[in-house]
Structure 1
Amino acid sequence: MGFLSRLPAKAAVLLGGLFLGQATYAHHVAENVKSYTLGVVPQFEQRKLFQIWQPIVDELEKRTGLAIHLRGSPRIPEFEKSFIAGEYDFAYMNPFHSLRASASQGYMPLIRDGARELYGVLVVRRDSDIESIADLDGKRIAFPAPNALGASLMIRADLDRKHSIKFVPSYVQTHSSVYLNVALKQVQAGGGVMSTLRAQRAELSDKLRVLYETQRIAPHPISAHPRVPEEDRRAVQQALLNMSKEPAGQKLLNAIPIREAVKADFSDYEIMLDWGLDDYWVSH
């Protein structure tokens, strides 16, 4: 039995108090401005990730009066090590990461997209002769990383448990690299999520078609470490909710994508405790 099957439903709340006395956020002494870090799961290569997130961070700083420093990771495993160690004050992570982060550090979800759901997609080349899941038996399939939720964990679990498919995994670091590997015929199929597939340039996405979709879950939350004082957590949460109500702010959030910011809660994700995905989690 994996740890998630034993994780209390309100772990984030119960664990939160353990870390309130471990404040490590810095202060700009001269300006008396609180400074926090924001970690972002690397779904895209670093340049694109910063193009998406830095304008959002700049707007959050204006609205909250906090200093927020964006921290990228070259690969998803490095991001996972960082949030499990509690290195980020705020973090944008996938739903399964959120469960892990709650268990290890007490991270608490603040906001998520209320206008869509997260689900994994298996893509093949549009001109591929692969027409069904059964055709993937023994084939090479690209994934961003072992623990990417929709793009890897859920797909690998479905291929194994629901379809008894044996395959050769190839981990290529980002969603964009998955789609490129499929288009270039380096692999026969690749795992991603619909939101990142839609974010690709037309000259790439037009070469692909979706072969399979997984079940669905509430999408990635922006979470906070419990060492961040409640007033600052609420300030960031409210700023994001307000941005979503304004055309200019919503345009920035669309790039994540968050089409409609709503408050997030641990209960949004606890259904995954019954999915057995911890059997497919790869520890680093």
Structure 2
Amino acid sequence: MKPTAAFVGMMALASLAFILVSFGHNQDPVEKPLPYSHAPDENQKPTYRLIPHPLYNPQKLVEEFQPLVDYLNRALPETPIRIEASRDYQAFEKKIRAREADILMPNPWQAIEAMKVGYHVVAMWGDADDFRGIFILRKDSKVKKPSDLKGKAISYPSPTALAAAIMPQYFLFTQGIDIKKDIQNVYVGSQESSIMNVFLGATAAGATWPPPWRQFQKDHPAQAEQLTVAWETPSLINNAVMVRDNLPPDFGQRLQQALLDLPKTAEGQKILKDIETARFHAANDKSYAIVREYVERFEKEVRKVEIP
């Protein structure tokens, strides 16, 4: 079924975005301050910057995560916390290496990179079995098996998206596909764009992971109805919550407890539902050793994680 006329304007904008990303994704734009943040009164106290990885577009991310930040400000009132979004994965990763975040919510690969500059894990964000790559196809697609993707374009949010690029590409490698030669890899900047490129027919398949796909189904039910999940990768460990090493020694432990307490109240359950997360789990740096091993194997057999 072709997209209806009601979506023509949206399609045109999305198509334009795709064209811009396709021709400009290797450029390194200057990061500009994003207006999508909510900060408590900073006149009296310093603030902690909580920066999640770009699960959604900046405005959407702030809208979805602000209730969590409000909860943390009540649970941990000594220093106000404010949320900050990032334009894309590369902008977020620059903030990691510059140690700009006080509280960091990275994907697992970004977590092991953050450890190198002094961040430490205090929690896992979501259940481990929810961290897996999925391939989205149009329901009217002629692609029936992974090998049918040879010669076609596949969209991903970023080369460094673990569940939505690295794990799907390793899956394709195990299916006999040389991702450097057999397919066209298109990095489009966000999870939603990866899915939308499939809907528009710009790519034959799009890689993402379950939380953004569930959110897309809520936000765009008509488009989602024309799409289907074709294949899934095995799961790994989920995203991390980390604190910088110069914060007060007990802050990480108190933050961890506040996150673990979320399911105990109706408010906390709603916060978890809104950010597409079942619960937070206690974790530490050692919990992510499996990611280091996975990435080493991926880089040996498939490609380097970071593409110049």
Listed one character per residue, the Cα deviations across residues 31-73 of structure 1 (whole Å, up to 9, x for unaligned) are 4x45211111112111210111111111111111021121111
Question: Where do 1:49-198 residues align within 5 Å?
Answer: 49-65=61-77, 66-114=79-127, 116-165=129-178, 166-198=182-214
Question: Where do 1:33-52 residues align within 5 Å?
Answer: 33-52=45-64
User: What 5-or-longer segments of structure 2 have no aligned partner?
Assistant: 1-40
Displacement of 1:204 in angstroms is 2.5
Query: What TM-score does the superposition give when structure 2 sets the normalisation length?
Result: 0.78
One-letter code aligned to 2:150: D
Listed one character per residue, the Cα deviations across residues 112-144 of structure 1 (whole Å, up to 9, x for unaligned) are 224743000111111101000000011111110
Which residue, 270, 279, 297 being the options, matches 1:260?
279
Closer/same/farther in 2, CA of residues 106 and 48 from structure 1, 3 Å limit: closer
Kept in 2, the 8 Å contact 1:112–1:263? The answer is no
One-letter code aligned to 1:189: A
One-letter code aligned to 1:194: P
CA–CA distance in structure 1, aligned partners of residues 185 and 42 of structure 2: 49
Equivalent residue number for residue 230 of structure 2: 211
User: What 5-or-longer segments of structure 1 have no aligned partner?
Assistant: 1-27
Name the SS of the counterpart of 1:221 in structure 2.
Answer: strand
One-letter code aligned to 1:50: V
Question: More relative contact order in 1 or in 2 (CA 8 Å, sep 6+)?
Answer: 1
Displacement of 1:149 in angstroms is 0.6
Closer/same/farther in 2, CA of residues 75 and 169 from structure 1, 3 Å limit: same
CA–CA distance in structure 1, aligned partners of residues 42 and 127 of structure 2: 38
Name the SS of the counterpart of 2:130 in structure 1.
Answer: coil
Listed one character per residue, the Cα deviations across residues 253-278 of structure 1 (whole Å, up to 9, x for unaligned) are 22222212221222332112222234
CA–CA distance in structure 2, aligned partners of residues 46 and 155 of structure 1: 24
Listed one character per residue, the Cα deviations across residues 193-232 of structure 1 (whole Å, up to 9, x for unaligned) are 0121111132222221112211211211111111111222
RMSD: 2.0
One-letter code aligned to 1:171: Y
Query: What TM-score does the superposition give when structure 1 sets the normalisation length?
Result: 0.84
